[in-house]
């Protein structure tokens, strides 16, 4: 049970100088979100940059040093996604991780009931030894490792971004203290996340690769038949969520079919599971989402779930015909014994 006096918290790291012309991961993503922050009924937390030591719990010190040097040289493309850096990107990435840490620590210390880190650059593609996929440092993984140094023994990360969080999976493939579940569109970047990919970590590394057009009905089944038993089996002491709003039906770079009401349903389910299993300790961390309207509406849906408000957006009905993804849902359940 949560204490009614405890509030929902958030951090906001818009990184306006982390910008590359014609790139979808741009500061404009936050244009409609920023003016709405005061309406979410949440308390703003300050964000301090993460330290190199905190980042090095996930990332190779050689990568951290190389990134610092590359950024000093000015704007550059560092992988084929393409991932860009500018002169400010190293500091922006430290601040995005720091904003995530401030949310997680507020929840762990009990000064906030739950929280949402609204940060960029995003993190879930960043692997221990390489930055990729628009991501510099893996914010959610850094927060999970930090929690493990603060008396938490197990963390579950649920990732509903439209892309597979290869970086988060890589960080925890052999770490039994952290479980990872990802729903994602199959066949797009980064190409990983097949359901049989982690045979030695059944029930702990759970991938749900979805066909084009999977939408609200499929995600409702996944919430009930995969996410629920995943949390019940792993029994985490804290839940982190990689929240990407690119699974929305009109996202410009993917072709899944969630509506904003669907994002609410999924987020509410996660908040309820955290309430039931780990005293409500849950932190959402922004990943992708490339349409500013969807991103602001998606944040609205997550804050409604975090603050216990109802949410329905009757205007946001998917124009994408929902496909039947039952076969994959059943295969995933069978593989893990859920």
Angle at 289 between CA 283 and CA 294, to 5 degrees: 95
Stretch that binds Zn ion, among 196-204, 223-231, 288-296, 300-308 (CB under 5 A): 288-296
For Zn ion, the closer CB: 99 or 288: 288
For Zn ion, the closer CB: 280 or 288: 288
For Zn ion, the closer CB: 163 or 248: 163
For Zn ion, the closer CB: 163 or 336: 163
Query: Which of 25, 54, 159, 161 contacts Zn ion by CB under 5 A?
Result: 161
State yes or no: is 125 an active-site residue.
yes
Least distance between Zn ion and beta carbon 288 (Å)? 3
Stretch that binds Zn ion, among 64-72, 207-215, 266-274, 285-293 (CB under 5 A): 285-293
Catalytic option among 18, 124, 125, 163: 125
For Zn ion, the closer CB: 161 or 237: 161
Q: Is 92 a residue that touches Zn ion (CB under 5 A)?
A: no
Contacts within 8 Å (CB) and 24+ apart, 50-54: 50/94, 50/95, 50/97, 50/98, 50/101, 50/137, 50/142, 51/94, 54/97, 54/101, 54/142, 54/145, 54/146
Comparing CA positions, the residue from 154, 122, 328 lying closest to residue 244 is: 122
Query: Which of 92, 288, 295, 305 contacts Zn ion by CB under 5 A?
Result: 288
Residues 255 and 303: their CA atoms lie apart, in Å, by 25
Q: Let me know: does 52 contact 61? Beta carbons within 8 Å.
A: yes
Least distance between Zn ion and beta carbon 193 (Å)? 12
Query: Which of 18, 113, 130, 163 contacts Zn ion by CB under 5 A?
Result: 163
Q: Let me know: does 197 contact 206? Beta carbons within 8 Å.
A: no
Q: Let me know: does 313 contact 259? Beta carbons within 8 Å.
A: yes
Size of the site for Zn ion (CB under 5 A): 6
Give me the 211-250 binding string for Zn ion, x by CB under 5 A, dash otherwise: ---------------------------------x-x----
Residue nearest to Zn ion (CB): 288
Stretch that binds Zn ion, among 83-91, 110-118, 158-166, 293-301 (CB under 5 A): 158-166
Q: Which two tokens stand for residue 83?
A: 């991932």
Stretch that binds Zn ion, among 164-172, 212-220, 269-277, 283-291 (CB under 5 A): 283-291
Stretch that binds Zn ion, among 48-56, 112-120, 160-168, 275-283 (CB under 5 A): 160-168
Scanning the chain, the segments in alpha helix (DSSP H) are 52-55, 61-72, 89-109, 139-148, 166-172, 216-222, 228-234, 260-278, 292-307, 326-336
Least distance between Zn ion and beta carbon 133 (Å)? 8
Find tokens 């999924």 and name the residue.
Answer: 266
DSSP symbols for 201-233: GTTTEEEEEE-TT-BHHHHHHHIIIIIHHHHHH
Least distance between Zn ion and beta carbon 124 (Å)? 8
- The SS3 assignment for 274 reads helix
Binding residues vs Zn ion (CB under 5 A) = 161-163, 244, 246, 288
Catalytic residue ranges:
125
């Amino acid at each position: 049970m949560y204490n009614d006096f405890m509030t929902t918290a958030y951090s906001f790291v818009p990184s306006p100088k982390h910008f590359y012309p014609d790139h979808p991961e741009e500061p404009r993503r936050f244009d409609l979100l920023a003016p709405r922050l005061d309406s979410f009924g949440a308390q703003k937390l300050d964000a301090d940059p993460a330290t190199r030591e905190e980042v090095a719990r996930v990332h190779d010190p050689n990568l951290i040093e190389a990134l610092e040097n590359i950024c000093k040289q000015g704007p550059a493309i560092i992988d084929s996604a393409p991932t860009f850096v500018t002169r400010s990107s190293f500091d922006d990435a430290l601040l995005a991780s720091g904003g995530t840490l401030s949310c997680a620590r507020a929840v762990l210390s009990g000064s906030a009931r739950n929280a949402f880190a609204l940060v960029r650059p995003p993190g879930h593609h960043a692997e221990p030894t390489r930055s990729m996929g628009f991501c510099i440092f893996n914010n959610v993984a850094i927060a999970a490792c930090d929690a493990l140094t603060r008396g938490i023994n197990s963390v579950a990360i649920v990732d509903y971004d439209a892309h597979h969080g290869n970086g988060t999976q890589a960080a925890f493939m052999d770490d039994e203290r952290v479980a990872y579940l990802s729903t994602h569109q199959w066949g797009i970047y980064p190409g990983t996340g097949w359901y049989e990919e982690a045979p030695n970590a059944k029930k702990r590394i759970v991938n749900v690769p979805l066909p084009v057009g999977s939408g609200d009905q499929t995600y409702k089944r996944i919430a009930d038949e995969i996410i629920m038993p995943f949390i019940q089996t792993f029994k985490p002491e804290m839940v982190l969520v990689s929240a990407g709003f690119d699974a929305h039906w009109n996202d410009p770079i993917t072709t899944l079919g969630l509506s904003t009401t669907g994002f609410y349903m999924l987020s509410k389910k996660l908040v309820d599971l955290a309430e039931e299993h780990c005293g409500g300790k849950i932190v959402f961390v922004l990943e992708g989402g490339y349409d500013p309207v969807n991103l602001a509406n998606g944040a609205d849906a997550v804050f409604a779930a975090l603050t216990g408000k109802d949410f329905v957006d009757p205007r946001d009905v998917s124009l994408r015909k929902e496909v039947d993804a039952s076969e994959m849902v059943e295969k995933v359940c069978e593989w893990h014994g859920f």
